Chain A
Amino acid sequence: MEILLQLVFSGIALGMIYAVIAFGYQLTFATSGTLNFGQGEALMLGALVGLSLVGNIHGGPYLNYWLMIPLVIVFGALQGAVVEWIGVRPALKIKSEFGWIMSTIALAIIFKNVAENIWGKDDLTFPSPLPSTPFQVFGANVQPMQVVVVLGALAMMLAVEFFNRKSIYGKAVVATSNDRDAAGLMGINTSMVITFSYALSSATAAFAGVLVAPLTLTGATMGAALGLKAFAVAIIGGLTSGMGAVVGGLILGIAETLTGFYISTGYKEVPGLVLLLLVLAIKPAGLFGKTAIKKV
Chain B
Amino acid sequence: MNTIIKTCVATALVGWSLAAGAAEPIKIGVTGPFTGGSAPMGVSMRDGVKLAVADINAKGGVLGRQLQLVERDDEAKNERGVQVAQELINKEKVVGTVGFINTGVALASQRFYQEAKIPVMNNVATGSIVTKQFVGPENKDNYVFRNAANDTIQSAMIVDEAVVRQKHTKVAILADSTNYGQLGREDLERTLAARGIKPVAVEKYNLKDVDMTAQLLKAKQGGAEVVLTYGIGPELAQIANGMEKLNWKVPIIGSWTLSMGNFIDNAGKNGDGARMPQTFIQDATTAKRKAFIEAYQKAYKIDRMPSAVSAAQGYDSVYLLAAAIKQAGSTDGVKVREALENLNGTVEGVVTTYTKPYSHDDHEAIKPNMVVIGEVKNGRVVLAK
A83 in the interface, Cβ–Cβ < 8 Å?
no
Q: Are B214 and A7 in contact (CB under 8 A)?
A: yes
A257 in the interface, Cβ–Cβ < 8 Å?
yes
A179 in the interface, Cβ–Cβ < 8 Å?
no
B210 in the interface, Cβ–Cβ < 8 Å?
yes
Inter-chain CA distance A263–B221, complex, in Å, is 15
A125 in the interface, Cβ–Cβ < 8 Å?
yes
Inter-chain CA distance A226–B177, complex, in Å, is 19
Chain-B contact segment, one of A29-37, A101-109, A185-193, A215-223: A215-223
Decide if the interface of chain B is mainly helix, strand, loop or mixed.
helix
Q: In the complex, which range does the number of interface residues on chain B fall in? A: 20 to 34
Inter-chain CA distance A290–B214, complex, in Å, is 35
Question: Which residues of chain A (79-128) have a CB below 8 Å from chain B?
Answer: 116, 121-125
Q: Are A125 and B268 in contact (CB under 8 A)?
A: yes
Q: In the complex, which range does the number of interface residues on chain A fall in? A: 35 or more
Inter-chain CA distance A156–B208, complex, in Å, is 26
Q: Are B262 and A265 in contact (CB under 8 A)?
A: no
A185 smallest CB distance to B (angstroms): 46
Q: Are A265 and B210 in contact (CB under 8 A)?
A: no
B356 in the interface, Cβ–Cβ < 8 Å?
no
Question: Which residues of chain A (9-38) have a CB below 8 Å from chain B?
Answer: 10, 14
Question: Which residues of chain A (211-234) have a CB below 8 Å from chain B?
Answer: 212, 215-217, 219, 221-222, 225-226
Specify which chain B residues have a CB less than 8 angstroms from the CB of A164 in the assembled complex. none
Q: Are A10 and B37 in contact (CB under 8 A)?
A: no
Q: Are A134 and B246 in contact (CB under 8 A)?
A: yes
- Among A7, A116, A136, A141: residue with most chain B CB under 10 A: A141
A291 in the interface, Cβ–Cβ < 8 Å?
no
Q: Are B214 and A215 in contact (CB under 8 A)?
A: no
Inter-chain CA distance A215–B206, complex, in Å, is 17
Specify which chain A residues have a CB less than 8 angstroms from the CB of B215 in the assembled complex. 260, 265
Q: Are A225 and B208 in contact (CB under 8 A)?
A: yes
Question: Which residues of chain B (192-219) have a CB below 8 Å from chain A?
Answer: 203-206, 208, 210-211, 213-215, 217-218
A32 smallest CB distance to B (angstroms): 30
A178 in the interface, Cβ–Cβ < 8 Å?
no
Q: Are A7 and B213 in contact (CB under 8 A)?
A: yes
Specify which chain B residues have a CB less than 8 angstroms from the CB of A7 in the assembled complex. 213-214, 217
Q: Are A261 and B210 in contact (CB under 8 A)?
A: no
Which of A143, A258, A265 contacts B204, CB < 8 Å? A265
Question: Which residues of chain A (138-188) have a CB below 8 Å from chain B?
Answer: 141, 143, 146
Specify which chain A residues have a CB less than 8 angstroms from the CB of B234 in the assembled complex. 123, 217, 219
Which of B37, B39, B177, B213 contacts A266, CB < 8 Å? B177
Q: Are A3 and B245 in contact (CB under 8 A)?
A: no
Which of B203, B213, B238, B262 contacts A6, CB < 8 Å? B213
Inter-chain CA distance A268–B211, complex, in Å, is 11
B137 in the interface, Cβ–Cβ < 8 Å?
no
Q: Are B217 and A261 in contact (CB under 8 A)?
A: yes
Specify which chain B residues have a CB less than 8 angstroms from the CB of A134 in the assembled complex. 244-247
Inter-chain CA distance A53–B54, complex, in Å, is 40
Inter-chain CA distance A225–B241, complex, in Å, is 20
Inter-chain CA distance A291–B225, complex, in Å, is 53
* Residue in chain A with minimal CB distance to B268: A125
* A34-67 to B contact mask, C-beta < 8 Å, 1/0: 0000000000000000000000000000000000
With known contacts A132-B244, A134-B245, A260-B214, A221–B205 Cβ distance under 8 A: no
Inter-chain CA distance A265–B185, complex, in Å, is 15
Q: Are A123 and B247 in contact (CB under 8 A)?
A: no
B30 smallest CB distance to A (angstroms): 18
Residues of B at under 8 Å CB distance from A?
35-37, 39-40, 177, 203-206, 208, 210-211, 213-215, 217-218, 221, 233-234, 237-238, 241, 244-247, 262, 265-266, 268
